[in-house]
Amino acid sequence: MNSARPEIRQISSDDLPERHRFEMWREVFGRQLCREDFEPLPGVPFRARYNVHALPGLGILTGVNGGYRQCRTPELIGDGNADFIFSMVLKGSVVIAQRGQELILDEQEAALLSSAEVKTFTRPALGHVRSLGLPRAMIAPLLPRADDAVMRRVPRESPILQLLSGYLGLLEENHALADPQTAPLIVTQIHNLVAAAIGASRDTMELAKRHGVREARLASIRADILANLSQVGLSPKAVADRVGVSARYIHLLFEETGQTFSRFVEEERLKRAFALLADPTRVDVRIGEIALQVGFAEHATFDRAFRRHFGDTPRNVRRERLKVFVGA
């Protein structure tokens, strides 16, 4: 397990000399640290104060800001950073522009943005925000069509977004992000929740338009399962309690698809395990730990299910996939 100590920083514009505050913030925090440019908004007081958590595979920025426009310019995207940003508005509203679209995010809403493309982020008044920096290589296996989800609103009604927001708030309140032993598990859980929130938003909207409430409900149930795969005791009742239906209703929805709840859970756990085994950033994580991370209590049970599903052992899959990665 990677035990690198998470880095925690507090950054505030209040600490800078008032006369040169914006210029210093723009150069140091903006162009050097975030690789984005800042523009003041006429007649609007500028302020920014953040807690920044840098974990292996995840950046978390939470704080108060307002009175500026933040831009990822054509010049700055030349740095080659193609990672994603999951922007969450806690209080107030922001205006985001990317891909020729403009999106106004209100309180408790979120959207996925791309660092590989020009964008602007305008905060006309003081508010609270949380942004997650997500490495593309770690999100792609969980959300293969992530680029299609850029600039799609995740509404405040999303139960997965509510779960993610509450989880992050609890982690910050309890200072859990400072513990190097739990950091890898926390990062995995947050990646899963982000992917589930984005996927639930997409699937629910599309299915509701095409087929109606039952299919949209099934999409939400599947998204909840994906967000909680690491729970060894994941059950229809646990999911039913979270999404507000009965366990029997969940069984009926899956039966209509020709698949059972337990089979769906197992297949998704195995797919998640395959992605983790093929991830070069997790080469030092033991296979038994990966099995536990995706919800298998016993290594032997995981090994049998993996071989039955993929026709090969987890160890062989990891070795062959890593050979492809290094060009061996």
Instruction: Note the pLDDT tens digit of each residue in 207-255.
Output: 445 555 676 678 778 888 888 888 988 999 999 888 888 899 899 889 8
The CA distance from 157 to 128, in Å, is: 19
Q: Using the predicted structure, report yes or no on whether residue 147 has a pLDDT greater than 60.
A: yes
Strand partners, 81: none
Residue 63 CB neighbours (<10 A): 18
pLDDT: is 203 or 77 the higher one?
Answer: 77
Averaged pLDDT score across all residues of the chain: 86
Q: Using the predicted structure, report yes or no on whether residue 327 has a pLDDT greater than 80.
A: no
For the chain, what percent of residues have pLDDT higher than 70? 91
pLDDT at 3: 41
**Within the chain, where are the H helices?**
21-25, 136-139, 159-173, 183-210, 213-227, 236-243, 247-256, 261-277, 287-293, 299-310, 314-326
Span 57-66, mean pLDDT?
93
The CA distance from 112 to 85, in Å, is: 6
pLDDT at 215: 67
> What's CA 73's distance to the chain center, in Å?
24
The CA distance from 255 to 57, in Å, is: 37
Set out the domains of the chain in order of their start, with CATH numbers.
7-259 (2.60.120.10)
pTM of the complete model beyond 0.85: no
Describe the chain by its helix, strand, coil percentages, rounded to 5. Answer: 50, 20, 30
Span 145-162, mean pLDDT?
90
Span 61-87, mean pLDDT?
93
- The pair of structure tokens assigned to 173 is 């309140």
pLDDT: is 16 or 207 the higher one?
Answer: 16
For the chain, what percent of residues have pLDDT higher than 90? 46
Question: pLDDT band at 36, cuts 50/70/90?
Answer: very high
Of 195, 266, 278, whose CA–CA distance to 232 is shortest? 266
Q: Using the predicted structure, report yes or no on whether residue 328 has a pLDDT greater than 50.
A: no
Span 13-29, mean pLDDT?
90
The CA distance from 201 to 223, in Å, is: 9
Which helix (H) or strand (E) segment holds residue 119: the answer is: strand 119-123
Residue 105 CB neighbours (<10 A): 21
